[in-house]
Structure formats: structure tokens, C-alpha cells
Amino acid sequence: MSLFNVYPLNPIAITKAAGSRVWDDKGQEYLDMYGGHAVISIGHTQPHWVKRIEDQLHAIAFYSNSVVMPIQEELATALNNISGKKGFQLFLCNSGAEANENALKLASFHTGRKKIVAFKKAFHGRTSLAVAATDNPSIVAPVNETDNIIFLPFNDIASLQKCFAEQGTNIAAVIIEGIQGVAGIYEADDAFLQAIRKCCDDFGAVYIADSVQCGYGRSGQFFAHDHAGVSADIYSMAKGMGNGFPIGGILIAPHIQAKFGMLGTTFGGNPLACAAALAVIEVMQQDHLIKAAEEKGNYLINALKNTEGVKSVRGRGLMIGFEMEAGLEDLRKVLLNDLKIFTGEAKPNVIRLLPSLAISMEDINLFLIGLNKAIQVLKQKKD
């Protein structure tokens, strides 16, 4: 049987990983500035994370959500502490799309309304409602098409206010990434997030902060949306939450009430996933990784801004995007094939850096040296 061919693959088989390094099946080592797409938060195969999953595996891996699971309560308490979202409630699922799907559905249940405001270039996942709220028609199947989603320009307060003035009483939720990731690393302005908060308050809509990529400390705050100084009603989380163990979830403000059967899942919140998520929070707290993301991010952003050939740099903490001058379009290929450095991309020509928050300064400097070398290689080819 062949694999369903939906991913354009690099012909590299990664078979081993530790920290910010990965190795292929031939023993070649790579520096991972991509974090497996913002997933690796505390480092590949981090020893405490491995041990906590291993211990849990010997105790119990799975039981259904029909019984009390103390480890879910433990995770809820740990998340309240690290996020600072006191009194929020936790619903656990398995991925980012599922987290947004549940967030949107919950907002509709809570308000009794159907309309969702999303933004141009947003990416919220590939399940039914999440993909409908994603601004990319090529991944929306005919069955997912709906006129319940209103797409507005990103960071445009006037359009937002106009939309609420015209149809605010029909709007269930506004969903927004604190930093748009797939679009190419674009930050939501503080004033824009504050305006969303106000519109949602004025019209009784739910503010959903999609923190799947920009959350979990990556921006230098637990949620990137926190930089704006206002709280959302629902935060969706996944990627960094399990450091590679599949888990997602939503944090839900105290005023949104649960009802039996409203949401549900078979695998969400299973003990193994909770053990992985707890290990992540424990390491983040013990090693002060949110602060580290801020400091190392500032260093990296500054260095990139002073790198010849780099046209523009965007982002916060260890969620960084940069564009190269004309003629350097092959940079990502040279970094991977010649310098053995994994980076991410966003079309048409943004390089995305999403490394582990535990990446060392030594590895960051190695990346910068590699980047300069790759730029020289490309410049020589051009001349």
C-alpha cells in the first residue's frame, strides 16, 4: 500500500533527535531551527519528558472520559498557573484544528449565533469549521463552504468596528492568531486585539485567541495575545503543548458554562498525553523557557536585522519570519542541503524560524554563521 501523497517531501529520513539536533538514517546531523513546525517546545527527546511518558505508560496509557482522571485535573491546575488565566476551564482534545473547531462550536452554543469573524491570510486548521475560517480556498472542500464566516482585513480596526456596527448581534465569535504563522509571521497589533475585546464585550461575542502556533511561551509570553494586555474568552492550544506528543486543548473563561454532552472526544485528555503536557510545563517553569524565548528571540531578531541580504524581519520571541533580497530565493534549500540546517517557510519567500524554546545560544550562533555562509554561497553564484 502506498502513502496518500499529500505532502511535498524533502528526501530526508529523520530517525533520531535530541535537543535542537536531528539525525537522518545515514547518521547526518542537522540543526533544527524549525522545531518540527513549532511543535518542539522543550527540545527533542527531553529526558524529563521521556521519563514522565515512560512512567505513565507503565501505569495506564488510556481510559475513556467516562471516569475521573486526576492527571487531567493536575494539568488544568498547571495550566492555570503557567498561563495566569485564573478561573479558566480546560477542555482537552488532540490537535490544533480540533481545538479551534471546539472553540468555534462552543462560541456558537454559548451565544446562540452563527457568524464568525476571521481575518485575511488566517490559518486555523483543516477540519470543517476551522478550515472554513481559514483564508485559503484551495484547502476548503465544497462541503466546508459556508456563508457564516466573515473575512476582514487583518489589523484594520475601522473594518472590524463597521462589521460589528452592521451585524454585531449575529456574531458568535472573532477568531485571530496573535501572530499569523502560516501567512508568514505577521503580528496582530495590540490596538487591534484591544478593539476586538471591546467589540466582543459590546455585542456579547466570544473572543477566540488561536494560540496553536504562537502560544505556549513561543512569543515570550505564555500566549502571544497577552502582549496586548487584554484577555480572550477562549484560547486554543496544540503544537508546543506536548513537545511532539499529540495533544490540544482550549482554555475557557469562567463565564462560559459547560453542559453535559456539549463537547466530547474519545482520545482527548488521555493519561499519556496529559503526562507529556505536564512534563512540558514542568520543564518550561524549571528552566524559565518563556523568558529564554524572549531573550534569545530578541538576540536572533537583532542579529537578523543586521545581516546583509536580509530585507525584513518580523515576529516575537522564537517565532520569527524573514525575507531575503532578490536573488537569494534558494536560501532555504542551501541551508538544508549544504549547511544541514532545517528552517520553515511561508510562501512565497519567507523563511520561518520556530526552534525549541530550549535552544542554546551556541546553536543560535551556529545558525547565524550558517546563514551568512549560505548567503555568501548564493551571492557568489549570482556574480
Q: Which of 238, 251, 281, 310 binds ligand PLP (CB under 6 A)?
A: 238
Residues that bind ligand PLP (rule: CB under 6 A) add up to a total of 14
User: Could you give the CA distance from residue 252 to residue 247 in angstroms, rounded to a whole number?
Assistant: 17
Contact 222, 232 (CB under 8 A): no
Q: Which of 232, 334 has the CB closer to ligand PLP?
A: 232
To the nearest whole angstrom, how small is the minimum distance from the Cβ of residue 149 to ligand PLP?
A: 15
Element (H, E) at 67: none
What cell does 147 get?
Answer: 456563508
DSSP state of 89: E
Q: If binding is defined by CB under 6 A, does position 101 make contact with ligand PLP?
A: no
Q: If binding is defined by CB under 6 A, does position 125 make contact with ligand PLP?
A: yes
Stretch of 2-10, 177-185, 260-268, 308-316 lying at the interface with ligand PLP (CB under 6 A): 177-185
Q: If binding is defined by CB under 6 A, does position 321 make contact with ligand PLP?
A: no
Q: Which of 274, 375 has the CB closer to ligand PLP?
A: 274
Q: Where are the beta strands (DSSP E) in the chain?
A: 14-18, 21-24, 29-32, 89-93, 115-119, 149-152, 171-177, 179-180, 186-187, 206-210, 234-237, 248-252, 310-316, 319-324, 341-342, 344-346, 350-353
Q: Which of 176, 230 has the CB closer to ligand PLP?
A: 176
Q: Which of 124, 197 has the CB closer to ligand PLP?
A: 124
3-state secondary structure of 206: strand
Q: Which of 41, 213, 219, 356 binds ligand PLP (CB under 6 A)?
A: 213
Q: Which of 20, 56, 83, 100 binds ligand PLP (CB under 6 A)?
A: 100
CA nearest 76: which of 61, 62, 66, 91? 91
Contact 237, 212 (CB under 8 A): yes
Q: How far is CA 14 from CA 21, 24, 32, 259, in A?
A: 10, 4, 11, 44
x/- letters, 178..197, toward ligand PLP (CB under 6 A): ---xx---------------
Q: Which of 46, 95, 108, 221 binds ligand PLP (CB under 6 A)?
A: 95
Q: Which of 268, 370 has the CB closer to ligand PLP?
A: 268
To the nearest whole angstrom, how small is the minimum distance from the Cβ of residue 94 to ligand PLP?
A: 8
User: Could you give the CA distance from residue 42 to residue 282 in angstroms, rounded to a whole number?
Assistant: 10
3-state secondary structure of 280: helix
Stretch of 158-166, 191-199, 207-215, 276-284 lying at the interface with ligand PLP (CB under 6 A): 207-215
To the nearest whole angstrom, how small is the minimum distance from the Cβ of residue 227 to ligand PLP?
A: 16
Q: Which of 101, 177, 233, 294 binds ligand PLP (CB under 6 A)?
A: 177
What cell does 285 get?
Answer: 517553569
CA nearest 134: which of 205, 182, 193, 196? 182
Nearest residue to the partner ligand PLP, using Cβ: 96
User: Could you give the CA distance from residue 76 to residue 80 in angstroms, rounded to a whole number?
Assistant: 6
Q: If binding is defined by CB under 6 A, does position 210 make contact with ligand PLP?
A: yes
3-state secondary structure of 155: coil
Q: Which of 33, 374 has the CB closer to ligand PLP?
A: 33
Q: Which of 104, 133, 212, 357 binds ligand PLP (CB under 6 A)?
A: 212
Q: Which of 152, 366 has the CB closer to ligand PLP?
A: 152
- Residues lying near ligand PLP in the complex (CB under 6 A) are found at 95-97, 100, 123-125, 177, 181-182, 210, 212-213, 238
